[in-house]
């Protein structure tokens, strides 16, 4: 290990772990039917409801986030059912691939990458499908472009047409306000490895009563799942002493318990406020450096800051050089955006100096790659934001029980 290049993980999953989260995973393995584990499991399920801002049971699976996405398709779609996918990037496309895999008649409304899904276009597509669409699949935070969609408006539109909405909030949950019950979101999926500050391996589906009911009807039409069957998991979790139908990822559940306790201590509002400052600082740094942001100006785009690669610089060289020379891992663009953008994530266990270090390294990297940048200009832009904002939380985040 070269300590001169300490590692900084600035990617949108996996994200860095707070030390207490790492530490609890070194504890001996618990038997999943022991009273000690059941108590932790019950508490985690309750804490998940707080983060999802819901009264409903949040179903938990041992899987990466895509597993929960898959559950939203396998439970609701029988072969031949019409589904509308409203996407604006790489992760939205995944919904379409999943729908195709389960034999849906997939209608795919694709916004330009870097733009938001337009609720009016969703409205038009649903009108053209004349009431046949059972479910609309969309993305809260499109991690490939940094765009945050107007999930509330999309949901209202879908409901007017009698369809349920399934929202991929894998990177946005715990960063930007997403009140699941208040906005009547039918299905919201997330994963453990982004803003929830836990290693990859846990996936969540918050499923409304109406969606459970539709899943029952889809099953009669031939929809099939086994491990991801919502009814089976709900039955286990809703018991007096909650019980997972399969061996839960006990170590990750303990880690998540600690991470969620930290969120509880910071408060959800505090968490949103911190991410808002981090996002604003990153955006101001980019502008102060004379670079251009990718995607619409948006105070809510606080998951990942996406920057256009300046003219004359080899885009794929930026993340590579930052990692190799400075130990700072950021992401480049995927698919059609490869080489055109860089992505700096700040969803989860991040503070002011993660942003400042990253911007400092970005400046050095760009300078070495021949771009016309002034060292310190971006850092100064971010510092200004941090000075003006003060410390956006009541409690330091590093003291979980
Ligand atoms: C990370 C992510 C996922 C899930 O990816 P997994 O690798 O399966 O955990 C899905 N959607 C979005 C928007 C994401 O950022």
- What is the structure's pLDDT at 1? 72
Protein residue with its CA nearest to atom 9 in ligand 1: 65
Same domain, 92 and 221: yes
Output the CA–CA distances (angstroms, integers) from residue 99 to 143, 365, 386, in the order listed. Answer: 20, 41, 43
Q: Is 249 part of any domain?
A: yes
Boundary of a domain, candidates 263, 286, 302 = 263
Residues contacting 336, CB < 8 A, separation 6+: 113
Q: Is 1 part of any domain?
A: no
Task: Give the CATH number for residue 372.
Answer: 3.90.1150.10
Question: In the numeric block, which tokens belong to residue 153?
Answer: 């408006």
Same domain, 283 and 249: no
Whole-number Å distance, alpha carbon 170 to ligand 1 midpoint, is 6
The residue count of the chain comes to 401
Whole-number Å distance, alpha carbon 66 to ligand 1 midpoint, is 6
Strand partners, 168: 139, 189
Mutate to test the pocket of ligand 1, among 70, 90, 151, 171 (most ligand atoms within 8 A of CB): 171
Whole-number Å distance, alpha carbon 210 to ligand 1 midpoint, is 25
Q: Is 168 part of any domain?
A: yes
Same domain, 12 and 58: no
Same domain, 254 and 308: no
Whole-number Å distance, alpha carbon 141 to ligand 1 midpoint, is 10
pLDDT digits (tens, 9 = 90+) for 91-145: 999 999 999 999 999 999 999 999 999 999 999 999 999 889 999 999 999 999 9
Whole-number Å distance, alpha carbon 203 to ligand 1 midpoint, is 10
Ligand 1 contact via 310 beta carbon (within 6 Å)? no
Whole-number Å distance, alpha carbon 376 to ligand 1 midpoint, is 33
Which backbone phi and psi does 311 adopt, to 5 degrees?
A: -40, 135
Q: Is 394 part of any domain?
A: no
Ligand 1 contact via 143 beta carbon (within 6 Å)? yes
Ligand 1 contact via 191 beta carbon (within 6 Å)? yes
Of all atoms in ligand 1, which is nearest to the CA of residue 69?
10
Ligand 1 contact via 198 beta carbon (within 6 Å)? no
Of all atoms in ligand 1, which is nearest to the CA of residue 142?
13
R_g (Cα) of the chain, nearest Å: 21
Same domain, 288 and 385: yes
Task: Give the CATH number for residue 114.
Answer: 3.40.640.10
Protein residue with its CA nearest to atom 4 in ligand 1: 65
Same domain, 296 and 255: no
Protein residue with its CA nearest to atom 2 in ligand 1: 170
Q: Is 338 part of any domain?
A: yes
Same domain, 243 and 298: no
Mean pLDDT for each consecutive 10-residue tract of the chain (401 residues)?
89 96 97 96 98 98 98 98 98 98 98 98 96 96 98 98 98 98 98 98 98 98 98 96 94 98 97 97 98 96 98 97 97 97 98 98 97 97 96 54 43
Protein residue with its CA nearest to atom 5 in ligand 1: 65
> How many degrees, rounded to 5, is the angle at CA 340 between CA 122 and CA 371?
145
Same domain, 57 and 86: yes
Please state, in angstroms and rounded to a whole number, the distance separating the CA atoms of residues 189 and 171.
Answer: 10
- What is the structure's pLDDT at 168? 98
- What is the structure's pLDDT at 3? 86
Of all atoms in ligand 1, which is nearest to the CA of residue 139?
13
Same domain, 272 and 318: yes
**How many domains, in total, are found in the chain?**
2
Domain membership of residue 235 as a residue range? 19-263
Which backbone phi and psi does 139 adopt, to 5 degrees?
A: -125, 135
Ligand 1 contact via 13 beta carbon (within 6 Å)? yes
Whole-number Å distance, alpha carbon 194 to ligand 1 midpoint, is 9
Which backbone phi and psi does 225 adopt, to 5 degrees?
A: -145, 160
Q: Is 207 part of any domain?
A: yes
Of all atoms in ligand 1, which is nearest to the CA of residue 200?
9
- What is the structure's pLDDT at 393? 60
Q: Is 38 part of any domain?
A: yes
Q: Is 395 part of any domain?
A: no
What's the predicted TM-score (pTM) here?
Answer: 0.96
Boundary of a domain, candidates 200, 230, 263 = 263
Same domain, 183 and 36: yes
pLDDT digits (tens, 9 = 90+) for 21-30: 999 999 999 9
Same domain, 186 and 286: no
Ligand 1 contact via 139 beta carbon (within 6 Å)? yes
Same domain, 242 and 332: no
Boundary of a domain, candidates 236, 263, 290 = 263
């Amino acid at each position: 290990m070269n300590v001169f290049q300490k590692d900084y993980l600035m990617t949108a999953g996996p994200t860095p772990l707070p030390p207490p989260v790492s530490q609890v995973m070194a504890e001996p393995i618990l038997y999943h039917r022991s009273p000690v584990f059941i108590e932790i499991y019950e508490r985690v399920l309750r804490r998940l409801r707080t983060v999802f801002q819901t009264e409903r049971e949040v179903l938990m699976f041992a899987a990466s986030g895509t597993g929960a996405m898959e559950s939203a398709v396998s439970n609701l779609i029988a072969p031949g059912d019409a589904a509308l996918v409203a996407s604006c990037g790489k992760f939205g496309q995944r919904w379409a691939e999943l729908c195709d895999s389960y034999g849906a008649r997939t209608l795919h409304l694709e916004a330009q990458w870097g733009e938001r899904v337009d609720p009016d276009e969703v409205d038009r597509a649903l009108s053209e499908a004349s009431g046949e669409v059972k479910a609309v699949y969309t993305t809260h935070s499109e991690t490939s472009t940094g765009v945050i969609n107007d999930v509330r408006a999309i949901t209202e539109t879908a409901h007017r047409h009698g369809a349920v909405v399934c929202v991929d909030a894998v990177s946005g949950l715990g960063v930007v306000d997403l009140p699941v019950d208040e906005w009547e979101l039918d299905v919201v999926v997330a994963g453990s490895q982004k803003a929830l500050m836990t290693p990859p391996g846990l996936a969540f589906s918050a499923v409304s009563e109406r969606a459970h009911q539709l899943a029952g009807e889809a099953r009669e039409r031939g929809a099939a799942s086994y491990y991801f069957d919502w009814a089976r998991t709900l039955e286990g979790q809703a018991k007096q002493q909650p019980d997972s139908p399969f061996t839960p990822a006990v170590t990750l559940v303990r880690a998540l318990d600690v991470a969620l306790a930290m969120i509880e201590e910071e408060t959800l509002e505090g968490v949103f406020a911190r991410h808002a400052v981090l996002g604003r600082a990153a955006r101001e740094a980019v502008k102060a450096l004379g670079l251009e942001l990718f995607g619409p100006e948006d105070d809510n785009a606080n998951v990942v800051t996406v920057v256009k690669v300046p003219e004359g610089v080899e885009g794929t060289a930026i993340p590579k050089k930052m990692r190799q020379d400075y130990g700072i891992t950021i992401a480049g663009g995927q698919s059609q955006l490869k080489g055109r953008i860089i992505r700096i994530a700040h969803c989860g266990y991040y503070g002011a100096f993660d942003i400042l270090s990253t911007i400092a390294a970005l400046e050095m990297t760009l300078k070495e790659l021949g771009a016309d940048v002034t060292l310190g200009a971006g850092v100064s832009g971010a510092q200004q934001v941090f000075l003006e904002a003060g410390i956006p939380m009541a409690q330091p985040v590093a003291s979980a029980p």
